Amino acid sequence: MTTGPSAAPASTYRLQVNARFTLHDAAATLAYLHDLGVDWVYLSPLLKAEPGSDHGYDVVDHAEVDPDRGGAAGLAAVSAEARRLGMGVLVDIVPNHMGIATPRENAWWWDLLLHGPSSAHADAFDVDWEAGAGRVRIPVVGDGDAAAIEVDRSAGVVRYHEHELPLAPGTTTLAEQHYELVSWRLADTALNYRRFFAVNTLAAVRVEDRRVLEESHAEIRRWFDAGLVDGLRVDHPDGLRDPAAYLDDLGELTGGAYVLVEKILEPGETLPASWATAGTTGYDVLGLVDRVLTDPAGCAPLTALETRLRGGPLDWHDLVHDTKRAVADGILGSEIRRVVRELRGTDGLDPPLDEEGALVDAVAELAACFPVYRSYLPQGREHLDHALAEARRRRPDLVRPLQAGWQLLVEPDLAVAERFEQTTGAVMAKGVEDCAFYRTSRLTSLTEVGGDPSEWSIEPAPFHEAMALRQRTWPRAMTTTSTHDTKRGEDVRARIAVLAELPAVWSAALDTLLALAPLPDPSFGNLLWQAVVGAWPASRERLHAYAEKAMREAGDRTTWTAPDKGYERAVHAAVDAAFDVPAVSAVLDEVVSQVAAPGWSNALAAKLIALTVPGVPDVYQGSELWEQSLVDPDNRRPVDFDVRRGVLARVAAGERPPLTPHAGDPGHAKLVLTQVALTLSRNQPHRFATYAGVEARGEAAGHVVAFDRGGALTVATRLPVGLAARGWGETVLPLPDGVWADLLTGREHAGDARLSELLADYPVALLIREETP
C-alpha cells in the first residue's frame, strides 16, 4: 500500500482536461507521471463549462464536474488512481467569473435575465441595475441589424441569430425585458455588468457575498469532504473584491488545504504575507530564471537594432502608460465609468465635480499610471500615491479631478476604492500582457507574463539572493517555466535568448529576411521572425495563427474588431515565404543551425534550475520533452503520452541520451533530467531544505550558475555561445564538504571540481552528497 499525499506537493504536473483528454484519460496517465517522479497531478478547471470549451475557464454550472470532461466519475477515477500511487490532486478553480455566452446553459444567468433584480441569483453577478434603468445590457447587436431580433412568444424566448434569451413571465415585447440587447460597440463604454477583463461573455461573480460563495463552492467543498482533492489553484484573484477575505473563506471551506494564487507580481513587488496561501503560481521565478541565462552584452546591440527598426528609441514605461491608457479609454471604458459613477455617489467627493468627463479622464489616467496590477488597501497605498504623482506629472490639467478621486480611492473602507482595485489589474493585463508585449521586439524571450522587458538580465549573485529570500518566505510557492498562459514555450524562449549572444548574426539575418519578405512594420517583423526561429520547424498553420494573434494584440496596425486587410496580407505573406521561398528558408536554416545547440543548453539549464530552486516545480503538460509552443491556443495542443512513456521506458532500461538532439529526437535528455530531479525531490525532500549559492573560480566562472539545496547541488551552464568560444579552461566549482555523485552521469566529484570534467557530457549536473548510513 502506497502512502497518501503530503500536505504540500514536492512537484506538480499540469494537465489540460477537456473533451479530447478527459479525466479518465488523466487517470490513465498517472502511472506514467508517477514514474516520471511527479508528486501531485495538477488539473485545469473541471466544473461544467460552456459547450465546446477547450480551457474550462468559462464555468456555467458550479454544481457539477463537467460531463464532457469526464464528470464526477472521472474525478473519482483520478483520485482513486492518485491514492493508489501516493499522489495528490491539485485543481484549478475560477471564482471570479462565469460563462454567459450561452445563457440557457447558465441557470443563474438565465434566471437573472428572466427576473431581473428580483432574481434569486441577482446578487451573484456584479450588475449596476441603476445605470441600466433596471436592465442589464447585452452587447451583441451588429451594426444596423436590430431588425433581426425576434420575439418568439410561443417558445417564451427572444432570439438574435445564435443568441437565445428568456422572455420574462407575462411580457410580450422587448421593452418589457430585464435585459436590453444593445450594439456590440457599446461594450467599451456602456456595459453595466462587471466582466473578466474585456470579455463580454464572462460575467463577474460576487463571491464576497457569503451565500454566493457557499453556492458557488458547494461542489468544491464536496471534493474535500470526500477526500477527492488535496489542493487548489485560484485563478485571477485580483478580480475579486477582497482576495484576502476570499482566501480565508477558502481555507475554512477546505480545512486549510494547500492553495496557490495566480497572482502576477511586478519586479520588486511582494505577495501579501497575511494571505492564506502557499504562494503564487510562479511567473516571478520564470522571469528570474530566463534572465540569469540572458547575456547582458546583448542589450546594447539588440536595443540599437530595435531603435533602427522603429525609427527611434522605445521608452518601455511610456509605451506601457500609453497602451494602458488606450485600454482604459477603450475596451475597459465601461469599468472606468462604473468607478466614476461610484465616486460621484460617494459622500466626500471634494471638490464636487459637475463635469463627469473630467473625472472619467482622471480615473483612466490613475489606472494607466498604476505601477502594479492592484493594491490591497491598506497594503499598497504607496502604489496609489505613485499613480497620483505620475498622473499629475503627465496631466497637470487634471490636478483637481485627480486629487478629488484619489482622496476617496485610498480609503480602504469605501466600496469605490475596492472597485478601483478590481479594475487596475484588468487595465494592466490588457494593456501590457496583451498589447505592449507585442509592440517591443528587441529580445522577445523577455516579454513574458510577470516580466518587465526593460529588465534585461540578472547576474548569478542577485539571483541567489532572490532564491534565498524565497526559501525563507515562500518555500512552498510554485515555480514554472511554461503554462497555458505563457506567450512562448520554455524552449522557444531558451532558443531566442541565444540571440543575445549573437546580436550581429541576428541583425544581419533579420535584414535579409525583411528584404526578402518585406513587412510594413519592420519592428513587428523582428518579433515575428524571432518566434519563427524559436519554434522552427513549425507548421504553416501554427505560424499563421501566431502571426494573426500577435499583430492583432499589438493593436497599432490592425485589431480584432477592425482588421487591416492589407497589413495582415503582408504579414501572412511573410509567414508563407518561410515555406515557399527557398532563400527565406535558407536564412532560417542558417540561423537555427547557430542557435539550436546553445538553445538546447539553455533549455536544459532553465529546466534544472526551475526544478531545483526553492518552491514546488510544475511541469506543464508535455514539457518534459522539447516544448516549442507559442501563445495559446498553440500551447494547449494534445500531448502524445505514448511517446513519453516510450522514452521513459528506455531510460528505465539504462539508456542515457546524448546532449545534442538529432533528427526525430523529441528531447530525451530533457526527460531524463526531469525524471531525475523530480524523483529526488519527491523521495529525498531533506536534500532541499536550505539554499546557498556556490560560486565558481576561474576565467569562465561567469558561465555557470550553481547552488546547494542542502545535499542536492545544481550546476547549470549559462551563456553557452561565449563558453564555446573560450572553453572552461581551469575554472573550478568548489564543492561543499563530502563526496558528490552526479545523478546524470554517475561520476563522483569532490573538492574543487573542474567544470570541464563536471560538465563534459551535459551542460547541467545534479549532484547529491553521499550520506553515511
- Crossing angle for the helix pair 399-409 and 333-344, nearest 10 degrees? 80
Q: Which pLDDT does position 651 carry in this prediction?
A: 86
Q: Which amino acid is at 613?
A: V
**3-state DSSP assignment of residue 347:** coil
Task: Record the cell numbers describing residue 39, joined without a space.
Answer: 508528486
Ramachandran category for residue 620: left, alpha or beta (phi over 0 → left; psi -120 to 50 → alpha): beta
Rounded distance between C-alpha atoms, residue 288 and residue 307, angstroms: 25
Which of 31-35, 450-454, 467-471 shows the lowest mean pLDDT across its residues? 450-454
**If pLDDT is split at 50, 70 and 90, which confidence band does 352 have?**
low
Residue 630 has pLDDT above 90, yes or no: yes
Residue with cell string 503564487 = 280
Q: Do residues 623 and 481 make contact, with C-beta atoms less than 8 angstroms apart?
A: yes
Task: Order across the sheet with 157-160: list the strands.
Answer: 150-152, 157-160, 163-166
DSSP code of residue 230: -
Provide the Cα torsion 256, 261, 266, 271; round to 10°.
-10
Residue 2 has pLDDT above 60, yes or no: no
**Tens-place pLDDT, residues 3-17:** 567 789 999 999 999
Q: Which pLDDT does position 654 carry in this prediction?
A: 83
**3-state DSSP assignment of residue 474:** coil
Type and span of the H or E element at 165: strand 163-166
Burial class of residue 52 (count of CB atoms within 10 Å of its CB; 0-12, 13-18, 19+): exposed
Read off the pLDDT of each residue in 667-675 and give the average, rounded to a whole number.
93
Rounded distance between C-alpha atoms, residue 525 and residue 571, angstroms: 8
Pairing of strands 616-620, 478-479: parallel
Overall pTM surpassing 0.85 (yes/no): yes
Rounded distance between C-alpha atoms, residue 646 and residue 570, angstroms: 43
Q: Do residues 532 and 582 make contact, with C-beta atoms less than 8 angstroms apart?
A: no
Task: Record the cell numbers describing residue 220, joined without a space.
Answer: 468544491
φ, ψ dihedrals at 520, nearest 5°:
-60, -30
Rounded distance between C-alpha atoms, residue 206 and residue 266, angstroms: 26
Query: Does the CA dihedral 343-349-353-354 come out positive or negative?
Result: positive
**3-state DSSP assignment of residue 708:** strand
Residue 482 has pLDDT above 90, yes or no: yes
Kindly report the average pLDDT of the chain as a whole number. 96
Rounded distance between C-alpha atoms, residue 463 and residue 121, angstroms: 49
**Tens-place pLDDT, residues 276-307:** 999 999 999 999 999 999 999 999 999 999 99
Rounded distance between C-alpha atoms, residue 415 and residue 422, angstroms: 11
Q: Which pLDDT does position 1 carry in this prediction?
A: 39
DSSP code of residue 203: E
Task: Order across the sheet with 692-693: list the strands.
Answer: 692-693, 704-708, 712-717, 764-769, 740-742, 748-749
- Crossing angle for the helix pair 522-535 and 540-554, nearest 10 degrees? 140
Give the 3-state DSSP-derived string for 690-704, with helices as H, strands as E and coil as C.
Answer: CCEECCCECCCHHHE
**Tens-place pLDDT, residues 599-620:** 999 999 999 999 999 999 999 9
